[in-house]
Amino acid sequence: MSRIRARFWDPTGARYGLPSYPWRMAPPHLLTLRQLAARGLRPGGQGVQALLQWASRRYRARGGVRAAYLYDIRFALPKRTPTLRQLGALAKANAARRTCPDCSRDVGYVLSRRLGVCNDCAERREMEHAA
């Protein structure tokens, strides 16, 4: 095992407070949130069971270490299915995010928070200010 990987190898949790494993060396029953979600599961109230750590050149200014939380698949529960009312509320909320306040059209994409209006209205405003 390389020195970098050995730095993150702590299955007892003595060094980091939680068991810690290097990239791709965690036991198969420990998964990240995304891996659980891909299998249709959620943590189900369990806390973080372990850390997955790796060195990153991209984040060298912040210590160069990245981490992901791991959850035990044995304690995971199936994802909850939303009710029809929840789905309806979500559809309304998403429609509101796509509706331009100036022209009142559903533009088919989520409006930019910076602009606050659809691209056509933003362009029209820009033309008016330029003239």
Q: Tell me the pLDDT tens digit for each residue of 59-111.
A: 666 667 889 999 999 999 999 999 999 999 999 999 999 999 999 999 999 99
Q: Quick one: pLDDT at residue 4?
A: 59
Look at residue 48 and tell me whether its pLDDT is greater than 60: yes
User: CB of 49 within 8 A of CB of 72?
Assistant: yes
Q: What whole-number distance in Å separates Cα of residue 26 and Cα of residue 14?
A: 16
Using the CB atoms, write b or e for 16-41: b if 16+ within 10 Å: eeebbbbeeebeeebbeeeebeeeeb
Widest Cα–Cα separation across the chain: 69
Q: Specify the pLDDT at position 100.
A: 95
